[in-house]
Amino acid sequence: VTPVRSRPRAPQLPDRVRRLRPYVPGRPAQQVRRELGLDAVIKMASNENPYGPSPRAIAAIQAAAASVGSYPDSACHDLVQALASHLGVPPEQILLGNGSDEIIHYLGVAFLEPGDEVLSGHPSFLRYEAAATLNDATHVAVPLADFRFDLRAMAERLSARTRVVFIANPNNPTGTVVTRLELERFLEEVPERVIVVLDEAYFEYAVDEEYPDGIEYVRGGENVVVLRTFSKIHGLAGLRVGYGIARPEIVSAVHQVREPFNVNSLAQEAAQASLLDSDYVAAMRRANREGHDYLAAAFDDLGLRFVPSHANFILVDVARDARAVFEQLLRRGVIVRTDPAFGLPTFLRVTIGTPDQNRRFLRELADILRS
Ligand SMILES: Cc1ncc(COP(=O)(O)O)c(C=O)c1O
C-alpha cells in the first residue's frame, strides 16, 4: 500500500528574502502588443537607447554568434584591456558584470554584513535597497532636496554602521546630478571603511560643467566604485554588460563572490566594438539632447512642470493621478513609467525617444490631459 502523503509545506523563506520588494520592470512592448491587441507600441519606460546599438556592435555579435558553443572568457581579458585603455586606468581596477545591476548585487554580497547600513537617496534606483535587504543590512534613504541627492543631509546620516553609500549620478528617476564640489565635500566626511558607489549609468549623457567624472576619485585612491554600463547610450541593454572601476582590493573582493562566467561572449564582443565607435556614442548624445530640449519645450507649452534632465529620460508632473495617465497612454500603445516606490504620485518618467516617438507620446499625452 502506498502511504498517503500530505502535500509538502511551502518552504520557509528567510526574513531577508521575504522582505525583498520584487523589481517591477517596464513592460516589454511585445507584451503590451499581445495583451491589448495593439500594432504600434512604443516603449519609453526603461531608459533604453531608442536607436539600439551601433552597427559595429551588431556586426561583432553576428561574427561571434558561431562561437557560443564555448564558455565565455571568465576574465573578459580583451574587454578589460579595451576599457583600461579607453578610460586610462590599469586593468586590475576594472570589473565586469551581467549589467551594472549585477555589480550592485555583488558589492552587497561582498561587503555587507547583518546590521550594516546602506545609505542612499530617495527616490533613487531601486536596486540599492534590494542589495541591502538581501544581506540583512538596513537601507537608510535620505529624501532628495529639489529632486537632487542631498549630500549634506546624507553626511549627517553617516553612522558607525554605514558600510556602503550609493549615489546615482545622474540620478534615476530624476535625471539630476550632484556637482564636483558637493561630492568632494561629502567624500571628506566619509570614514575610511565606507565604500562610496558612484552609479554613473547615464554618465555619457550628462551636460553640466560641474558634473564630476567619478574615475578621478578612484585615481585619487578613495574607496570609490564607479559603475557604468553598455545598456544605456551604447544601446546594448539586452546583452547585459556593465562595468565598475575601483581600487584593486575592491575588484578582487567582487571576483571572490562573482559567478565565473557572468558576462556572456556576445556581450564581451559587442561591448568592445561599441567602445571603439565613439562617433556613434557622440551622435546618440546629440540626439538625446535634441530630444530633451524638444520635450522640455513641449512640456512648457502644455504648462507641465518637469525636472530638467542630465540623462535620457525626463520626470514630468502631470498634476493628476499619474497612474491613470500611465494606463491611458498604455492603452494608446505608449509605455512610460510611474512607480509607487518613487513616492511621486503625479509624475511620469518618460525615456527620451526618437523624434517620431517623442511626437507620438506628446500627441497622446496632450489628448489625454485635455479629456
Ligand atoms: C541608475 C541606474 N543604475 C544601474 C542601472 C542598471 O543598468 P544595467 O544593469 O542594465 O547596466 C540602471 C538601469 O536602469 C540605472 O538606472
pTM for the full model? 0.95
The ligand 1 atom nearest the CA atom of 240: 10
Predicted confidence band of residue 371 (pLDDT cuts 50, 70, 90): confident
Predicted confidence band of residue 78 (pLDDT cuts 50, 70, 90): very high
Ligand 1: centre distance to CA 11 (Å) = 32
What's residue 27's pLDDT?
A: 79
pLDDT, tens digit, 9 for 90 and up, residues 255-277 = 999 999 999 999 999 999 999 99
What's residue 152's pLDDT?
A: 98
Ligand 1: centre distance to CA 100 (Å) = 6
Predicted confidence band of residue 1 (pLDDT cuts 50, 70, 90): low
User: Is residue 43's pLDDT more than 80?
Assistant: yes
Q: What would the mean pLDDT of 112-120 be, rounded to a whole number?
A: 98
Set of cell numbers at residue 334: 505608449
Q: What would the mean pLDDT of 194-204 be, rounded to a whole number?
A: 98
Q: What would the mean pLDDT of 127-145 be, rounded to a whole number?
A: 97
Q: Which of 47, 49, 98, 101 maximizes ligand 1 atoms within 8 Å of its Cβ, making it the mutation to test the pocket?
A: 101
Predicted confidence band of residue 352 (pLDDT cuts 50, 70, 90): very high
User: Is residue 285's pLDDT more than 70?
Assistant: yes
Q: What would the mean pLDDT of 191-203 be, rounded to a whole number?
A: 97
What's residue 24's pLDDT?
A: 79
Q: What would the mean pLDDT of 43-71 be, rounded to a whole number?
A: 97
pLDDT, tens digit, 9 for 90 and up, residues 233-250 = 999 999 999 999 999 999
User: Is residue 230's pLDDT more than 70?
Assistant: yes
Ligand 1: centre distance to CA 201 (Å) = 6
- Average pLDDT, whole number, for the chain? 96
By the 10 Å C-beta count (0-12 exposed, 13-18 middle, 19+ buried), 59 is classed as middle
Set of cell numbers at residue 78: 580583451
Instruction: Kindly state if the Cβ of 99 falls inside 6 Å of ligand 1.
Output: yes
